[in-house]
Each structure stands twice: as structure tokens, then as C-alpha cells.
């Protein structure tokens, strides 16, 4: 690391950089015009600028309020889609999770049951949902 971080070895950094690339990143690198990059800092900045749009977009808990069960979507599919989204949200409060999950249910008997029972825990909701999913799958 001392060898690579030495200011006199910037050309080594530039030459070793592509050895860590593959796929789209390697293709991007191979299309750079010869002599178009004059420093490792410029190479790094160019790389980041090019791929910045591809960064993973992490949603906040507010986004859960936009997830709704579709008119013809099964409860199982809704729960799966909702769970996939919650995995993108760091430090999600279980109460917010439960509230958004219940609010996104389409109107119907299951939603009415959930509303009347005033579930407080996510696990209670999941237990009720499993029963409803079994009914739907019959």
C-alpha cells in the first residue's frame, strides 16, 4: 500500500486500475481515448461521474407509504414486493413498517379484519397474513 500511495507512483495507480475492473466498467475504460487522462485523480473522478447514475437508490421509510397492493395482486405477492423494498431501508422502525404494510392493503375483508383487531406487532400481522394467504391459495 505504501508503494501504491506514494505520490511518485501515480502512473502505477493508473496502470493497475483496469485490472480491478470487469463488465461495463472495463468496457468504459477501454473506450477512453489515449492520452485523455492526465492523473489518477482525474481517472477516478471520470469513473465516478460516469457511473454515478448507476448507484443504488436507497429509499427512506417514507417510500413505504407509496406501496399499495394491486387490485388483482395476491397478498403473498404484495407481501413479497413489500419485503423486498424494506430490505433497502436501513434502520426501519418496526412500527412504521407495520403501519405502511397495513395501509397498503387493498380494501376488503382482510384489511377490515386487520383494522378491527388493531395489531401492534409485525409478527402478529404476519401470522394473520399467512392464514389469509392459505385461504387465497385454496
Question: What secondary structure letter does DSSP report for 96?
Answer: H
Residues 79, 128, single domain; the answer is: yes
Cell numbers 423486498: residue: 84
Residue from 81, 75, 84, 80 nearest 110 by CA: 75
Give mean pLDDT, residues 12-40: 84
Residues 133, 84, single domain; the answer is: yes
Q: Is the pTM of this model over 0.75?
A: no
Residues 73, 50, single domain; the answer is: no
Domain count along the chain: 2
pLDDT at position 2: 45
Residues 50, 65, single domain; the answer is: no
Residue from 118, 121, 127, 115 nearest 95 by CA: 121
Residues 81, 127, single domain; the answer is: yes
Residues 73, 45, single domain; the answer is: no
Q: How many Å apart are CA 83 and CA 108, to the nearest integer?
A: 21
Domain hosting residue 36, numbered range: 2-54
Q: What pLDDT digit, counting tens, does each position of 56-76 carry?
A: 566 788 889 999 999 999 999
Amino acid at each position: 500500500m505504501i508503494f501504491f500511495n506514494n505520490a511518485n507512483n501515480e502512473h502505477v495507480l493508473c496502470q493497475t486500475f483496469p485490472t480491478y475492473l470487469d463488465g461495463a466498467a472495463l468496457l468504459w475504460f477501454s473506450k477512453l481515448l489515449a492520452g485523455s487522462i492526465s492523473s489518477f485523480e482525474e481517472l477516478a473522478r471520470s469513473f465516478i461521474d460516469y457511473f454515478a447514475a448507476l448507484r443504488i437508490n436507497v429509499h427512506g421509510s417514507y417510500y413505504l407509504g407509496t406501496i399499495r397492493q394491486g387490485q388483482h395482486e395476491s397478498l403473498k405477492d404484495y407481501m413479497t414486493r413489500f419485503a423486498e423494498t424494506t430490505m433497502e431501508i436501513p434502520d426501519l422502525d418496526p412500527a412504521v413498517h407495520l403501519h405502511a404494510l397495513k395501509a397498503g392493503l387493498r380494501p376488503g375483508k382482510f384489511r377490515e379484519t386487520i383494522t378491527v383487531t388493531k395489531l401492534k406487532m409485525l409478527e402478529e400481522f404476519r401470522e394473520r397474513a399467512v392464514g389469509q394467504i392459505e385461504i387465497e391459495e385454496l
